[in-house]
Chain A
Amino acid sequence: MAELGAERAGLAIDPDKAYLIESRLGPVARRESFGSVADLIAAVRGGADERLETACVEALAPSETRFFRDRAVFEHLWREVVPEVARHRPDGVVRIWSAGCGAGQEIYSLAMLQAEAPAPTGRVELFASDLSERLLDRARLGVYSSFEVQRGLSARQLVRHFENRDEHFQLAKKVRQEVRWRRVNLMEDLTPLGAFDIVLCRYVLSGFTARARSETTARLAALVAPGGALVLGEEEALAAEGFAPARAGLYRRAGGARAAA
C-alpha cells in the first residue's frame, strides 16, 4: 500500500506505521463491503480493478486542513499580495489556486475574504484541486461539522457566511459558487492548468516522498506568474530559482507582468 501511494501520488507512508494505513483505508473497506482492511489490501494485491486502487490511493493521502490556517498568511495575501499583483495585471484578474485543497477550507477562507473585502482593483478567480474526487464532492457541498467551523473561523464569519444544516453548517451558496474545482494529481503534468498569480500548496508536500516533493515543488513553481507567490506550510521550505521568501512559507517570484489569461 505504501508503495502504491508513493508510485501513484508521491505519498510518503512509512510501512511501519500500519495504524495509519489501517485508519485511512478503514472507510474504503467499509464502503466497498470488505470485511476488513486486510481483505481490501488482499484484493488490491490480487490485481483488483483500477477504481479500487484509485480509491485506496486517494484515501491514503492526508487531508486534514482548516479555515484560515496561520491566519496572518491569509491577511497578508489579501491585504498585500492580491492588490499588488492586481495592479500589475493588464486585465486586473488575479488567479489563485489551492492545490491539495482537501475539504476546501483553504480556498473558502479566501472566498470569504473576497465576500468581506473585495479586492479593490480587478477580479479574483479562485480554483481548487485535490487528488480525491470524494473530497472534492465534499468541498463543493461546503458542509462542515461544528469542530471544523470552529477551527480558525471566527464566530462573526460563521454567522455571516454559514447556514445551519441539521447538526452541521453549510457555507452560503454565493460564497461556494466563487470557486472552480478540478481533480488534479500533483504528480502529473500541471502545465495544462495555465499560470497562476498565487499558488497555495500548504502542508501537502510534507506528506510526499523527498523525490516527489522536489519534483512537485518545481512543477508548482513553474506555474507561478512573475510577481506572484507560492505559499507553502510555515515550515515547508522552497528552493526554487527566482523566488524569495516574503514570510514563513510564502515565497514571491520576481517580476511583475503576466499576460492576460
Chain B
Amino acid sequence: MKTCLVVDDSRVVRKVARRLLEDRGFAVAEAGDGMEGLAWCRAMMPDLVLLEANMPLMSGLEFLRRLRLEPGGRGPKVVFCSAEANLDRIREALDAGAAEYIIKPFDGDIVADKLALAGVA
C-alpha cells in the first residue's frame, strides 16, 4: 500500500485530504507543521507528501528543502496543496522539486488528476 504524509496546519484540510487519499488506496499520516512532518519522514519515508505552502512555523518550500537533505529524502513525490494561486509561487515550488501543485479549494477529481500527473496514482 502506498503511503502519503499530509503536512498542513489546518485540521479540516488534513481531514478532507485524508478521506480523498484513503479513497484512492493510500495509507495516510498527518502532520500539523513542517517539524512534525520531518519527524514522520525520518521514522518512515512516505511515497507521497501533500504539502501546504504557507504554514506558520516552517514554509512548504523550507520543508521540501530540508526533506531532500534527509537520508532517503529524495524519494517521495511532493505535491504542494495551497490556496496560493500566484503563478510565480507555483513556479518556485516546481523549481524546488515539487512534482505537482494543487490550488485550494480542490475536489476528488482534481486530486486524482494531479496524482496521476505526479506519477503516484
Q: Which residues of A contact B (CB under 8 A)?
A: 71, 146-147, 150-152, 154-156, 158-159, 162-164, 167, 169
Asked if residues A151 and B94 are in contact (CB atoms below 8 Å), the reply is no
Given contacts A159-B90, A164-B87, contact A151 B98 (CB under 8 A): no
Closest A residue to B92 by CB, please name it. Answer: A159
Q: Which of B91, B101, B107 is the one whose CB lies under 8 Å from A147?
A: B107
Q: Least Cβ distance of B120 to chain A in Å?
A: 13
A163-B87, A164-B87 known; A155 vs B113 contact (CB < 8 Å): no
The 15 listed contacts between A and B (C-beta, < 8 Å) are A150-B113, A151-B110, A152-B113, A154-B100, A155-B90, A155-B93, A155-B98, A155-B100, A158-B87, A158-B90, A159-B90, A159-B94, A162-B87, A164-B87, A169-B87
Known A150-B106, A151-B109; contact A156-B85, beta-carbon cutoff 8 A? no
A152 to B93 alpha-carbon distance, docked (Å): 19
What is the count of residue pairs linking A and B with beta-carbon distances less than 8 angstroms?
40
- Tell me if A159 and B87 are in contact (CB < 8 A): yes
Which residue of chain A is the closest to B91 with respect to CB atoms?
A159
Decide: A164 near B85, CB < 8 A? Known: A155-B94, A159-B91: yes
Taking CB atoms, residues of chain B closer than 8 Å to A71 are 116
A162, A164, A167 interface centre (most CB from chain B within 10 Å): A164
A156-B103 contact, Cβ under 8 Å, with A150-B113, A150-B114, A151-B110: no
Query: Main secondary structure on chain B at its contact with chain A?
Result: helix
CB distance from A139 to the nearest CB of B (A): 21
Chain B interface residue count, CB cutoff 8 Å, equals 20
Residue B102 at the chain A interface, CB threshold 8 Å: yes
Q: How far is the CB of A39 from chain B (nearest CB, A)?
A: 34
Taking a contact as CB atoms under 8 Å apart, the answer to whether B113 and A156 are in contact is no
Interface residues of B in 79-95 (CB under 8 A from A): 85-87, 90-91, 93-94
> Which of B90, B100, B110, B113 has the most CB atoms of chain A within a 10 A radius of its CB?
B113
What residues on B are CB-neighbors of A164 within 8 Å?
85-87
Chain B residues contacting A150 (CB-CB under 8 Å) are 102-103, 106, 110, 113-114
Does B58 have its Cβ within 8 Å of any Cβ on chain A?
no
Beyond A150-B103, A150-B113, 18 additional pairs, beta carbon < 8 A: A146-B85, A146-B103, A147-B107, A147-B110, A150-B102, A150-B106, A151-B109, A151-B110, A154-B117, A155-B90, A155-B93, A155-B94, A155-B101, A158-B90, A159-B91, A159-B94, A164-B85, A164-B86
Bound together, the chains give a CA A171 to CA B114 distance in angstroms of 20
Residues of chain B contacted by A146 (CB below 8 angstroms): 85, 103
Nearest-neighbour CB distance to chain A for B53, whole angstroms, equals: 12
* Chain B, 37-70, CB within 8 A of any chain A CB: none
Kindly provide the distance from the CB of A113 to the nearest chain B CB, expressed in whole angstroms: 15
- On chain B, the residues within 8 Å of A163 by CB distance are 87
B93 — which chain A residues lie within 8 A by C-beta? 155
CA of A259 to CA of B4 in the docked complex: distance in angstroms?
A: 55
A-B CB proximity, top 3 nearest: A155-B101, A159-B91, A146-B103
Q: Complex formed: what's the CA distance from A147 to B110 in Å? A: 8
B106 → A minimal CB distance (Å): 7
Chain A residues in 8 Å Cβ range of B103: 146, 150
In the bound assembly, the distance between CA atoms of A71 and B114 in angstroms comes to 12
